[in-house]
Protein backbone atom coordinates (compact mmCIF):
# COMPACT_ATOMS: atom_id res chain seq x y z
CA UNK A 1 0.00 0.00 0.00
CA UNK A 2 1.13 3.53 -0.75
CA UNK A 3 2.26 5.97 1.89
CA UNK A 4 -0.14 8.89 1.55
CA UNK A 5 1.42 12.27 2.31
CA UNK A 6 -0.47 15.58 2.39
CA UNK A 7 1.63 18.67 1.68
CA UNK A 8 -0.04 21.44 3.58
CA UNK A 9 0.09 24.93 5.01
CA UNK A 10 -2.85 27.32 5.19
CA UNK A 11 -0.51 30.14 4.17
CA UNK A 12 -0.12 30.63 0.42
CA UNK A 13 3.14 31.10 -1.42
CA UNK A 14 5.25 28.81 0.75
CA UNK A 15 6.12 26.20 -1.86
CA UNK A 16 3.41 23.55 -1.43
CA UNK A 17 2.74 23.05 -5.12
CA UNK A 18 6.40 23.41 -6.08
CA UNK A 19 7.21 20.74 -3.50
CA UNK A 20 4.43 18.41 -4.65
CA UNK A 21 5.42 18.49 -8.32
CA UNK A 22 9.17 18.32 -7.81
CA UNK A 23 9.05 15.73 -5.04
CA UNK A 24 6.78 13.56 -7.21
CA UNK A 25 9.27 13.78 -10.09
CA UNK A 26 12.24 13.11 -7.81
CA UNK A 27 10.64 10.04 -6.19
CA UNK A 28 9.70 8.76 -9.64
CA UNK A 29 13.31 9.25 -10.78
CA UNK A 30 14.27 6.96 -7.89
CA UNK A 31 12.03 4.26 -9.36
CA UNK A 32 9.13 4.84 -6.97
CA UNK A 33 5.55 4.64 -8.22
CA UNK A 34 3.98 8.03 -7.50
CA UNK A 35 0.50 9.56 -7.72
CA UNK A 36 0.11 13.32 -7.32
CA UNK A 37 -3.36 14.40 -6.18
CA UNK A 38 -4.10 18.04 -7.02
CA UNK A 39 -6.63 19.14 -4.41
CA UNK A 40 -6.33 22.87 -5.11
CA UNK A 41 -9.00 24.45 -7.38
CA UNK A 42 -6.28 26.64 -8.90
CA UNK A 43 -4.93 23.51 -10.60
CA UNK A 44 -1.32 24.69 -10.46
CA UNK A 45 0.10 21.25 -9.71
CA UNK A 46 -1.82 19.89 -12.71
CA UNK A 47 -0.40 22.56 -15.03
CA UNK A 48 3.08 22.27 -13.51
CA UNK A 49 3.01 18.56 -14.34
CA UNK A 50 2.39 19.31 -17.99
CA UNK A 51 -1.37 18.65 -18.03
CA UNK A 52 -3.76 21.28 -19.39
CA UNK A 53 -6.32 21.77 -16.63
CA UNK A 54 -8.76 23.29 -19.15
CA UNK A 55 -8.63 20.22 -21.36
CA UNK A 56 -9.28 17.40 -18.86
CA UNK A 57 -12.52 15.46 -19.26
CA UNK A 58 -12.76 14.57 -15.58
CA UNK A 59 -10.97 15.74 -12.46
CA UNK A 60 -10.72 15.26 -8.71
CA UNK A 61 -14.10 17.02 -8.54
CA UNK A 62 -15.72 14.00 -10.20
CA UNK A 63 -13.95 11.68 -7.75
CA UNK A 64 -15.13 13.58 -4.67
CA UNK A 65 -18.65 14.54 -5.75
CA UNK A 66 -19.72 11.85 -8.23
CA UNK A 67 -17.48 9.08 -6.89
CA UNK A 68 -15.83 8.45 -10.24
CA UNK A 69 -13.17 5.72 -9.84
CA UNK A 70 -9.72 7.22 -9.37
CA UNK A 71 -8.25 4.84 -11.95
CA UNK A 72 -10.55 6.34 -14.62
CA UNK A 73 -9.52 9.95 -13.88
CA UNK A 74 -5.74 9.57 -13.49
CA UNK A 75 -3.52 11.05 -16.19
CA UNK A 76 0.20 10.59 -16.91
CA UNK A 77 2.51 13.57 -16.29
CA UNK A 78 4.23 13.50 -19.68
CA UNK A 79 7.75 12.09 -19.46
CA UNK A 80 8.03 12.75 -15.71
CA UNK A 81 7.01 9.15 -14.89
CA UNK A 82 4.35 9.90 -12.28
CA UNK A 83 0.55 9.98 -12.41
CA UNK A 84 -1.72 12.92 -11.65
CA UNK A 85 -5.26 13.17 -10.36
CA UNK A 86 -5.94 16.56 -11.98
CA UNK A 87 -7.81 19.58 -10.71
CA UNK A 88 -9.40 22.72 -12.11
CA UNK A 89 -11.88 25.40 -11.09
CA UNK A 90 -14.73 22.83 -11.00
CA UNK A 91 -13.37 21.85 -7.59
CA UNK A 92 -14.55 25.15 -6.06
CA UNK A 93 -18.10 23.76 -6.20
CA UNK A 94 -17.20 20.58 -4.33
CA UNK A 95 -17.42 22.07 -0.84
CA UNK A 96 -20.96 23.35 -1.46
CA UNK A 97 -22.12 20.12 -3.06
CA UNK A 98 -20.69 18.00 -0.24
CA UNK A 99 -22.32 19.98 2.59
CA UNK A 100 -25.24 17.57 3.03
CA UNK A 101 -23.28 14.42 2.21
CA UNK A 102 -22.67 11.91 4.99
CA UNK A 103 -18.99 11.35 5.86
CA UNK A 104 -18.02 14.13 3.45
CA UNK A 105 -14.60 14.45 5.08
CA UNK A 106 -13.83 10.80 4.17
CA UNK A 107 -14.55 11.01 0.44
CA UNK A 108 -10.90 11.24 -0.65
CA UNK A 109 -9.82 8.52 1.76
CA UNK A 110 -12.40 6.13 0.37
CA UNK A 111 -11.45 6.97 -3.21
CA UNK A 112 -7.74 6.35 -2.67
CA UNK A 113 -8.17 2.93 -1.04
CA UNK A 114 -8.68 1.30 -4.42
CA UNK A 115 -5.78 3.07 -6.15
CA UNK A 116 -3.16 3.15 -3.41
CA UNK A 117 -2.05 -0.47 -3.98
CA UNK A 118 -0.64 0.59 -7.35
CA UNK A 119 1.72 3.19 -5.84
CA UNK A 120 4.55 3.61 -3.37
CA UNK A 121 3.68 7.25 -2.61
CA UNK A 122 0.58 9.38 -2.98
CA UNK A 123 1.28 13.11 -2.60
CA UNK A 124 -1.65 15.47 -2.02
CA UNK A 125 -1.29 19.16 -2.89
CA UNK A 126 -3.59 20.97 -0.45
CA UNK A 127 -5.22 24.38 -1.01
CA UNK A 128 -3.89 27.33 1.04
CA UNK A 129 -6.64 27.18 3.67
CA UNK A 130 -8.02 24.85 6.32
CA UNK A 131 -11.24 24.04 4.47
CA UNK A 132 -13.20 20.88 3.61
CA UNK A 133 -10.73 19.97 0.86
CA UNK A 134 -7.76 20.18 3.22
CA UNK A 135 -9.74 18.22 5.80
CA UNK A 136 -10.29 15.48 3.20
CA UNK A 137 -6.56 15.39 2.56
CA UNK A 138 -5.68 15.14 6.26
CA UNK A 139 -8.24 12.40 6.86
CA UNK A 140 -6.83 10.43 3.91
CA UNK A 141 -3.16 10.92 4.77
CA UNK A 142 -0.69 8.90 6.82
CA UNK A 143 1.50 11.94 7.31
CA UNK A 144 1.80 15.66 6.60
CA UNK A 145 4.75 17.52 5.13
CA UNK A 146 4.52 21.15 6.23
CA UNK A 147 6.27 23.55 3.88
CA UNK A 148 7.21 26.89 5.38
CA UNK A 149 9.42 29.90 4.97
CA UNK A 150 11.63 30.80 7.90
CA UNK A 151 9.90 34.05 8.81
CA UNK A 152 8.12 35.31 11.90
CA UNK A 153 4.48 35.03 10.83
CA UNK A 154 5.08 31.51 9.49
CA UNK A 155 5.51 30.29 13.07
CA UNK A 156 2.06 31.57 14.05
CA UNK A 157 0.43 29.75 11.14
CA UNK A 158 2.41 26.62 11.93
CA UNK A 159 0.96 26.39 15.43
CA UNK A 160 -2.60 26.54 14.01
CA UNK A 161 -1.85 23.78 11.52
CA UNK A 162 -0.19 21.57 14.15
CA UNK A 163 -3.27 22.03 16.37
CA UNK A 164 -5.56 21.03 13.48
CA UNK A 165 -3.48 17.93 12.73
CA UNK A 166 -3.71 16.95 16.40
CA UNK A 167 -7.49 17.38 16.43
CA UNK A 168 -7.93 15.25 13.32
CA UNK A 169 -5.66 12.57 14.76
CA UNK A 170 -7.79 12.48 17.92
CA UNK A 171 -11.13 12.36 16.11
CA UNK A 172 -11.09 10.76 12.65
CA UNK A 173 -7.57 9.65 11.65
CA UNK A 174 -5.63 8.16 14.54
CA UNK A 175 -2.62 7.35 12.36
CA UNK A 176 -2.07 10.93 11.18
CA UNK A 177 1.28 12.45 12.10
CA UNK A 178 3.64 15.18 11.02
CA UNK A 179 5.86 13.55 8.42
CA UNK A 180 8.31 16.41 8.38
CA UNK A 181 8.83 20.15 8.16
CA UNK A 182 10.44 21.46 4.99
CA UNK A 183 12.12 24.85 4.96
CA UNK A 184 11.55 26.52 1.59
CA UNK A 185 12.92 29.67 -0.08
CA UNK A 186 15.79 29.28 2.35
CA UNK A 187 18.45 31.98 2.58
CA UNK A 188 21.10 31.21 5.24
CA UNK A 189 22.50 34.76 4.95
CA UNK A 190 19.34 36.10 6.59
CA UNK A 191 19.57 36.25 10.41
CA UNK A 192 15.80 35.79 10.82
CA UNK A 193 15.96 32.66 8.68
CA UNK A 194 18.57 31.18 11.01
CA UNK A 195 16.65 32.23 14.11
CA UNK A 196 13.37 30.68 12.95
CA UNK A 197 15.24 27.58 11.74
CA UNK A 198 16.75 27.15 15.20
CA UNK A 199 13.30 27.45 16.80
CA UNK A 200 11.97 24.76 14.47
CA UNK A 201 14.78 22.41 15.46
CA UNK A 202 14.14 23.19 19.12
CA UNK A 203 10.41 22.38 18.93
CA UNK A 204 10.31 19.62 16.32
CA UNK A 205 13.74 18.01 16.48
CA UNK A 206 14.37 15.46 13.76
CA UNK A 207 10.97 16.15 12.19
CA UNK A 208 12.72 19.06 10.48
CA UNK A 209 14.23 17.79 7.24
CA UNK A 210 17.96 18.30 6.86
CA UNK A 211 17.27 19.22 3.25
CA UNK A 212 16.38 22.87 2.65
CA UNK A 213 14.98 24.28 -0.60
CA UNK A 214 16.80 27.48 -1.58
CA UNK A 215 15.39 30.45 -3.42
CA UNK A 216 15.98 29.40 -7.01
CA UNK A 217 14.85 31.03 -10.24
CA UNK A 218 14.76 27.69 -12.07
CA UNK A 219 12.10 26.41 -9.65
CA UNK A 220 10.02 29.49 -10.44
CA UNK A 221 10.49 29.17 -14.20
CA UNK A 222 9.83 25.43 -14.58
CA UNK A 223 5.99 25.53 -14.15
CA UNK A 224 5.61 27.87 -17.14
CA UNK A 225 7.21 25.12 -19.23
CA UNK A 226 4.91 22.46 -17.75
CA UNK A 227 7.73 20.34 -16.33
CA UNK A 228 9.33 19.73 -12.91
CA UNK A 229 12.63 21.55 -12.33
CA UNK A 230 14.70 18.40 -12.85
CA UNK A 231 13.48 18.25 -16.48
CA UNK A 232 13.94 21.98 -16.98
CA UNK A 233 17.42 22.28 -15.45
CA UNK A 234 18.59 19.18 -13.62
CA UNK A 235 21.74 20.94 -12.45
CA UNK A 236 19.86 23.78 -10.73
CA UNK A 237 20.06 24.09 -6.96
CA UNK A 238 16.30 23.66 -6.72
CA UNK A 239 16.24 20.40 -8.66
CA UNK A 240 19.12 19.03 -6.61
CA UNK A 241 17.38 20.00 -3.36
CA UNK A 242 14.24 18.02 -4.24
CA UNK A 243 16.29 14.98 -5.23
CA UNK A 244 17.99 15.22 -1.84
CA UNK A 245 14.59 15.51 -0.13
CA UNK A 246 13.29 12.43 -1.93
CA UNK A 247 16.34 10.49 -0.78
CA UNK A 248 15.87 11.69 2.78
CA UNK A 249 12.20 10.65 2.79
CA UNK A 250 12.99 7.19 1.43
CA UNK A 251 15.78 6.66 3.97
CA UNK A 252 13.51 7.72 6.83
CA UNK A 253 10.84 5.26 5.76
CA UNK A 254 13.36 2.44 5.39
CA UNK A 255 14.71 3.18 8.86
CA UNK A 256 11.21 3.12 10.38
CA UNK A 257 10.46 -0.15 8.60
CA UNK A 258 13.61 -1.72 10.04
CA UNK A 259 12.70 -0.55 13.55
CA UNK A 260 9.19 -1.98 13.20
CA UNK A 261 10.37 -5.33 11.87
CA UNK A 262 10.08 -8.20 14.38
CA UNK A 263 13.35 -9.37 15.89
CA UNK A 264 14.19 -12.98 15.01
CA UNK A 265 14.51 -15.24 18.05
CA UNK A 266 17.20 -17.90 17.77
Across the chain, what does the average pLDDT equal?
Answer: 93
Give the integer Cα–Cα distance in Å for 27 and 2. Answer: 13
- Per-residue HEC secondary structure of 52-120 comes to CCCCCCCCHHHHHHCCCCHHHHCEECCCCCCEEECCCHHHHHHHHHCCCCCCHHHHHHHHHHHHHHHCC
Q: Which structural domains are found in the chain, ordered by start? A: 3-260 (3.40.50.300)
Overall average pLDDT of the 191-199 stretch: 90
**Which pTM does this prediction carry?**
0.94
Q: What percent of the chain lies above the pLDDT cut of 90?
A: 77
Asked if 8 and 129 touch (Cβ cutoff 8 Å), the reply is no
pLDDT in tens, 41-87: 999 999 999 999 999 999 999 999 999 999 999 999 988 999 999 99
Amino acid sequence: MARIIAIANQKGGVGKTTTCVNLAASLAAMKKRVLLVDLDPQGNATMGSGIDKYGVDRSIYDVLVHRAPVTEVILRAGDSNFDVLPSNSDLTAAEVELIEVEHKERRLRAALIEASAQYDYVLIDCPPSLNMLTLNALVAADGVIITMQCEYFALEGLSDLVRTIGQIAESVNAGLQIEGILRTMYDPRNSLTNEVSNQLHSHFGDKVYRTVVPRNVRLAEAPSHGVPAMYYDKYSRGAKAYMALAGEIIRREEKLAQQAAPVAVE
